[in-house]
Chain A
């Protein structure tokens, strides 16, 4: 079993606490009308952070959905800048600078799964020693793309890790309305590669499962499906009211296995964490977020920025539309 070192566990808790504090601040910013719709990370931290720490950030790719980027701090401080640009609705929010091996937010659920398989396949064709880890949820597992991609990955033996974050809810749809299978991990049987179910609130278990899957993939033995069982502690997004459908007693029970509480207790017992460290990490997280927000808000935005990067060079049509848009914006581009 691959066990993280004490130092790694401490680093993982830093990332988990940072993600939650920042996510909660962004939630509040949304309530103030300063950012758009966002999906809180609460309850998913051990799975996302544990997985990220089991990867080699120089070589391994992460393809997230929309809840994970805030917790991918391990991939560099640029990730927080990406999150803030994305959340304020700046076009540059789609750009994660090279060489960071993370793709931006994916909103169309499960479409990133075949991308992951193609990318993993491409890495082998390029003799690039990396693996691809793709996040998706219990709900996404109902999409055709999940099955098509899982099947293809099995056939190709591609170095890809399917990480299904089963947080019990797809907005308001519970797991028993999503599948009649005994688990999401069981679906790997149809693809011809292993599927395992783990406690996604146990950062050590996540780290071990991803490490094992990674070693397997790099050895040319193909993909693994990991189902990380967690509980969504917050709403689906800022636009959701879970009190309409989440039983209060279930949520109460889930809060008792909060992944941050769990790791913190363990590290405190081992003398690796205390209230001062906690306060320090929280303070640094908020300062980093404020700085990223400030940087995002001061990122230049040309009046015709929304037309950039659609084609390598504007078609004649688009060039005319750009000219019209610039004329409408007026000198300095301030008309809108």
Chain B
């Protein structure tokens, strides 16, 4: 084990996967000579050369679209979109082409493409840098949506994503890049896609979360523990495929559920989690499910974003609320 922050874990994994499989090609804006604007790709150019680590022109659609061609050629593209909000400019290629390459060629070509992108707020970025699009992406058949919350999972899930023949949107919590730091297994470490993780044990209620919200849910759980409450935190780790058994198990054990996410509420993935609980675990519920989320407005500017973002206070309040209901 080595203690790493999330960026270090991602960088280490990119190095390891490029060394393991020479079909892996890393492409994106500012990723080669600059090592990425967050330094996630630092050192790759020096180690693997400019044929495999490629600075791209400023065009998200071309980054995603060229990845399709690279995959058809038998390569394994790992593309970086500098901020997930800019994936809007590649959505026709991500949703319309990458996601359905295998489907529309009836199995001839594997879109073994991983698109990495930081997302989420709290760092006073300009417009569109903080948007949470995971709910929109989860509505695209063919994509896998991976949302790690720890450095160890960033390593294990990124390695699994790059090796997966399905296309993966690998969404990295911008706020957690340097803020999240934990023990990361040395050497090969794979976390299977579609397995949730219990981040805090507990039996009075469960908070279901992903990405940076897991950290906040854990803080809320720790605080509520001081009040004598036992609040479990379930980290989904992947939205697609979704770990249905882990959700059912947590709901059956706790009976009271809070689902928290940063994205706007309407159409957000939290709604999908709630629907899953209603379909699969309705009779285990002791109270209506409570949702915590962003608001149904575009992600706001710096002076007001702290009001927008669900924080540990809001999550804790939601837990108290779900426990207060008869």
Interface residues, chain A, with chain B CB atoms under 8 Å away:
91-92, 94-98, 103-104, 108, 111, 113-123, 125-126, 128, 132, 144-145, 148-149, 151-152, 155, 308-312, 315-317
Task: Please indicate the chain B residues that have their CB under 8 angstroms from the CB of A151 in the complex.
Answer: 57, 59, 62
Of the candidate stretches B103-111, B175-183, B300-308, B312-320, the one touching chain A is: B103-111
A contact face: mostly helix, strand, loop, or mixed: helix
Cα distance, A128 to B75, chains bound together (Å)? 12
B61 touches A115 (CB 8 A): no
Cα distance, A149 to B67, chains bound together (Å)? 12
B73 touches A115 (CB 8 A): no
Query: With A108-B96, A115-B72, A126-B73 known to touch, is A121 a contact of B66 (CB < 8 Å)?
Result: yes
- Chain A CB within 8 A of B102 CB: yes
CB distance from A26 to the nearest CB of B (A): 21
User: Which single member of A97, A115, A316, A317 contacts B65 (CB below 8 Å)?
Assistant: A115
Cα distance, A316 to B243, chains bound together (Å)? 8
B51 touches A125 (CB 8 A): yes
Residue of B nearest to A316 (CB): B244
Query: With A108-B92, A114-B62 known to touch, is A92 a contact of B70 (CB < 8 Å)?
Result: no
- Inter-chain contact count A-B, CB under 8 Å? 139
Query: With A309-B107, A317-B242 known to touch, is A117 a contact of B97 (CB < 8 Å)?
Result: no
Query: How many chain-B residues does the 8 Å CB contact rule pick out?
Result: 45
Task: Please indicate the chain B residues that have their CB under 8 angstroms from the CB of A317 in the complex.
Answer: 241-242, 244
Residue of A nearest to B241 (CB): A315
- Chain A CB within 8 A of B165 CB: yes
Task: Please indicate the chain B residues that have their CB under 8 angstroms from the CB of A312 in the complex.
Answer: 102, 110, 164-166
CB distance from A177 to the nearest CB of B (A): 23
A104 touches B69 (CB 8 A): no
A123 touches B65 (CB 8 A): no
- Chain A CB within 8 A of B194 CB: yes
A152 touches B57 (CB 8 A): yes
- Chain A CB within 8 A of B257 CB: no
Residue of A nearest to B109 (CB): A103
CB distance from B174 to the nearest CB of A (A): 25
A311 touches B70 (CB 8 A): no
Task: Please indicate the chain A residues that have their CB under 8 angstroms from the CB of B73 in the complex.
Answer: 118-119, 121-123, 125-126, 128
Cα distance, A116 to B72, chains bound together (Å)? 10
A118 touches B67 (CB 8 A): yes
A148 touches B74 (CB 8 A): no
Cα distance, A169 to B75, chains bound together (Å)? 37
Query: With A122-B74, A309-B107, A310-B103 known to touch, is A114 a contact of B69 (CB < 8 Å)?
Result: yes
Residue of A nearest to B69 (CB): A118
Cα distance, A114 to B105, chains bound together (Å)? 17
Task: Please indicate the chain A residues that have their CB under 8 angstroms from the CB of B105 in the complex.
Answer: 94-96, 103-104, 309
Cα distance, A203 to B71, chains bound together (Å)? 33
CB distance from A209 to the nearest CB of B (A): 23
Cα distance, A122 to B77, chains bound together (Å)? 10
Task: Please indicate the chain A residues that have their CB under 8 angstroms from the CB of B26 in the complex.
Answer: none
- Return 20 A-B CB contacts under 8 Å, by A number: A91-B106, A94-B103, A108-B92, A111-B65, A111-B96, A115-B65, A115-B68, A118-B66, A118-B67, A122-B71, A123-B73, A125-B73, A144-B61, A148-B59, A148-B65, A309-B102, A312-B164, A312-B165, A315-B241, A317-B241
